[in-house]
């Protein structure tokens, strides 16, 4: 009898859902038993806005437990991971990615175009705040945070005080709540966060057997897209509050598989809005992301990021913008 593998997870409904899903997939593919071990993170204990805490707080407790050996592997929302690699740890799999787009949940079944000027829209991420302002619809954007249920309650609950909220479709999908979505937002209007909708399955790099076992969960196209998007983010050296968006799509081109990467840097008030795209082969995913970031920098992305508490080269801690 082999002991069950210990999968460390945060206790939030979203984290439990995605960890449970990965555990089931691993057991189905390999026959190995998996046991969920709850790890409490500093992010779960605090109610400060995420862009001030830095999403790294959700991650570091899980990584500490991995390094200490109290768990064998962990599942992260990929967009919450810092762009810097964690010493001694390895992302052994990127499972098939969920739809990375953002979703609007609005009162009275409204779509974005149906919101009147002055409508109150809640979202915590600067990337979303910036893109909502860039629409020029005179929306009143208010920063919110909390778990998915708390955020939905601001629109759907008995004490609803907002007309709409914007959140990741993937989070709602994992919780079985896509029924509340009134519009899945087109990336032309709301480009997703780098790696949104993707998971990272991480273990210790010296745990060779587990590295090999977990590889069955890897989905190459999802990994390539995420590599491109995060190379863009890393090259911009964006701090934890940076309004940076990136979306890589894989499609069959004339010369084989192609990756189409879009990137955006938007000032929080929406007045400056840089959007560019680039294509290439999935094998060059990282180079495509770097090159697109370099083009954005040439257009002045650094001055937008500088306005927003840009950490500057070498000082970056947290990779995600939200
Ligand atoms: N911001 C926190 C966060 N981190 C991961 C998700 C779920 C979506 C995903 O896995 O990318 C969410 C919720 C959201 O952005 O609405």
ipTM of the complex: 0.95
Q: What percentage of the chain exceeds 90 in pLDDT?
A: 81
Q: What CA–CA distances, in Å, run from 289 to 107, 224, 263, 302?
A: 37, 11, 9, 16
Mean pLDDT for the stretch of residues 244-266:
94
Q: Could you give the CA distance from residue 299 to residue 75 in angstroms, rounded to a whole number?
A: 36
| Number of structural domains the chain divides into | 3
Say what the pLDDT of residue 240 is: 53
CATH number for the domain including 286?
Answer: 3.30.160.40
- Please check whether residue 317 lies inside any domain of the structure: no
Bridge-partner residues for 276, per DSSP? 263
Could you read off the pLDDT of 110-140 as tens digits, one per residue?
Answer: 999 999 999 999 998 999 999 999 999 999 9
- Please check whether residue 192 lies inside any domain of the structure: no
Q: Would the pLDDT of 94 be above 60?
A: yes
Ligand 1 binding pocket, CB closer than 6 Å: 77, 79-80, 167-168, 170-171, 196-197, 322
pLDDT bracket for residue 319 (50, 70, 90): very low
Say what the pLDDT of residue 320 is: 47
Whether residues 211 and 86 share a domain: the answer is yes
CATH number for the domain including 166?
Answer: 3.40.190.10
Whether residues 164 and 242 share a domain: the answer is no
When the pLDDT of each residue in the chain is averaged and rounded to a whole number, the result is: 91
For residue 80, indicate whether it is catalytic. yes
- Please check whether residue 190 lies inside any domain of the structure: no
Say what the pLDDT of residue 44 is: 65
Say what the pLDDT of residue 221 is: 96
Q: Would the pLDDT of 52 be above 80?
A: no
- Ligand 1 mean position to 14 CA, how many Å? 9
Domain span at 253: 224-307
Alpha carbon 313 to its chain centroid, in Å, reads 22
Q: What CA–CA distances, in Å, run from 262 to 187, 283, 292, 296, 316?
A: 9, 17, 8, 11, 23
């Amino acid at each position: 009898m082999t002991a069950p593998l210990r999968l460390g997870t945060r206790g939030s409904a979203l984290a439990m859902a995605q960890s449970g899903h990965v555990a089931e997939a691993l057991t189905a593919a390999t026959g190995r038993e998996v046991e969920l071990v709850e790890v409490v993170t500093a992010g779960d204990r605090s109610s400060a806005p995420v862009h001030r805490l830095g999403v790294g707080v959700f991650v570091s407790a899980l990584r500490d437990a991995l390094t200490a050996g109290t768990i064998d592997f962990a599942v992260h929302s990929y967009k919450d991971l810092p762009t810097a690699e964690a010493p001694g740890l390895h992302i052994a799999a990127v499972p098939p990615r969920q739809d990375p787009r953002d979703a609007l949940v609005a009162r009275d079944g409204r779509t974005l175009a149906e919101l009147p000027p002055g409508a109150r829209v809640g979202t915590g991420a600067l990337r979303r705040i910036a893109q909502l302002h860039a629409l020029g619809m005179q929306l009143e954007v208010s920063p919110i945070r909390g778990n998915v249920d708390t955020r939905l309650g601001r629109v759907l609950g008995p004490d609803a005080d907002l007309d709409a909220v914007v959140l990741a479709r993937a989070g709602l999908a994992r919780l079985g709540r896509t029924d509340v979505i009134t519009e899945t937002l087109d990336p032309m209007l709301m480009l997703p966060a780098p790696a949104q909708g993707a998971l990272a399955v991480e273990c210790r790099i010296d745990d060779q057997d587990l590295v090999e076992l977990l590889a069955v969960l890897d989905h190459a196209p999802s990994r390539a897209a995420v590599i491109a998007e995060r190379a863009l983010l890393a090259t911009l050296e964006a701090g934890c509050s940076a309004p940076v968006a990136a979306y890589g799509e894989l499609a069959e081109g004339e010369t084989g598989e192609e990756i189409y990467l879009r990137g955006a840097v938007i000032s929080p008030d929406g007045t400056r809005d840089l959007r560019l795209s680039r294509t290439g082969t999935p094998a060059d995913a990282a180079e495509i992301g770097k090159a697109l970031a370099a083009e954005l920098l040439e257009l002045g992305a650094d001055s937008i990021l500088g306005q927003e508490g840009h950490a500057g080269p070498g000082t970056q801690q947290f990779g995600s913008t939200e």
